[in-house]
Amino acid sequence: MEARKKFALIFFIGLSATATAQSVKVEKESHRVKGENVDGYSVELEGKLDDVATSFNKYLKSFAKLKLGANPITLTETVIGGTSYKNPIYATTKERTTTAVAWIGLKPAEWSTTDEAEKVNKELERIIYDFGIKYYRDKIQVQVDESTKALQAVERQQQRLLNENKNLTLRLENNEKERIQLEKSVEANKLENLSLLTLIEKNKKSQDSVAIATEQIKRVVEMHKEKQKKVN
């Protein structure tokens, strides 16, 4: 009974995540920068503000240097499409009721030419969309990893039970031989025989429980993977 409870707990933890695919939608949005409203692009993401902000900063650092400490943060030496830009780009995150928003934008007046500012601004829409995709995929990957670890733990337990069953079966076989040879102690032998049969039955029930949990967790892993594939 205790083993069944443990396996059930692992299963329900894995099952807590839903299979609904996440959808990333980019919106045009303005943000206050140095006293001015600056146009840019944003994505609204499911998750806590701290988690989204940490993920966003890590993503931005992959192609730009960040000047932290202010809101919004400033990106410098930004590499976009193989071209490096020294002009500032701004990015920030903010919290909503149950979600968090990541935003990125620039001030055209701070750029050398209007054409260059417009070119980079178009790239910012793609950049913020790519971040939304990466954020959800990374989040789902954590769920996949956790479910996979749970599956591996159950499979190890299943193997231990199989080995235990082999040992118990061998002991039962030896006991049967001993029973034939030791007719004088038949009453004591019967008691041990009954005990071993009980253990084997218990083992079979445990195997059934583990087999059910294994299949359930496998479905959870596949569900997470399907969810990851459906991110768009």
Within this chain, do residues 8 and 53 fall inside the same structural domain, yes or no? Answer: no
**Domain finish residue from 140, 167, 199:** 140
How many domains does the chain contain in total? 2
CA distance 58 to 62: 7
For residues 176 and 85, state if they share a domain: no
Q: Kindly report the CATH number assigned to the domain that includes residue 97.
A: 3.30.530
Please indicate, yes or no, whether residues 13 and 97 belong to a single structural domain of this protein.
Answer: no
52 and 12 together in one domain:
no
Return the pLDDT at 2: 53
pLDDT of residue 28: 95
- Out of 85, 120, 140, pick the residue that ends a domain: 140
Q: Are residues 110 and 158 part of one domain? A: no
Q: Above 70 in pLDDT, residue 227?
A: yes
172 exposed, middle or buried (CB, 10 Å; 0-12, 13-18, 19+)?
A: middle
| Predicted local distance difference test score (pLDDT) of residue 20 | 61
133, 179: one domain: no
Same domain for 148 and 114? no
Q: Which of 212, 210, 223 is nearest to 143 (CA)?
A: 223
Domain final residue, candidates 140, 156, 191: 140
On whether both 113 and 153 belong to a single domain, the answer is no
Structure tokens at 141: 């990957």
Q: Tell me: the pLDDT tens digits for 92-139?
A: 999 988 999 999 999 999 998 999 999 999 999 999 999 999 999 999
Question: 154-203, pLDDT tens digit by residue?
Answer: 999 999 999 999 999 999 999 998 988 887 766 777 888 889 999 999 99
Look at 232 and 120; give whichever has higher pLDDT: 120
Distance CA(232)–CA(221), nearest Å, equals: 20
Could you list the residue range(s) of the whole structural domain that residue 159 is in? 2-17+143-229
Q: Are residues 133 and 175 in the same domain?
A: no
Residue-wise pLDDT tens digits, 23-67: 899 999 999 988 899 999 999 999 999 999 999 999 999 999 999
